Amino acid sequence: MKKQNTVAAPKEAKPKNYVAEIQIMTQCINKENKYLKISDHYVCNPHTLIVTPDKPLTERPKKPVDGDENREREPVNEFKETLKSTFKDFYGVPNQKYKYPMTTNQELGWYQNYVRLLVRSQAV
């Protein structure tokens, strides 16, 4: 006897329950939003900063008219000050960056300048 090739009948697909899918999606979004933290304060990262010089043959912008000088230069000066303070904070010596030593190794040299001044004043 030969076996007959029989193909299994396809299973009937269950109808989709859209209400249940929306509830599951809502729960997922609520869980994500629970741990989401949005920041409005952005800081310049010196490691990712790429400085490119001006092209040699491009024209420089013309100077503003007499009364408009301060208005146009304020944002540029503000940016320069922010950039300087960012670099100073990032690359500064720990004594200048922090008020107190952060690690035990920093404690060893933290008051080094004050000790030198005391020794000099006592020697005189």
Q: What is the C-alpha to C-alpha distance for residues 124 and 115, in angstroms, rounded to an integer?
A: 15
In total, the chain counts a number of residues equal to 124
Predicted confidence at residue 1, as pLDDT, reads: 57
Q: Running DSSP on this structure, what letter comes out for residue 92?
A: S
Predicted confidence at residue 30, as pLDDT, reads: 95
Q: Is the pTM of this model over 0.75?
A: no
40-77 pLDDT, tens digit each: 877 777 777 777 776 776 666 666 655 555 555 566 77
Q: Please list, in sequence order, all residues whose beta carbon lies within 8 angstroms of the beta carbon of residue 107, skipping any fewer than 6 positions away.
A: 101
**68 close to 83: Cβ distance less than 8 angstroms:** no
Place of tokens 């060893």: 108
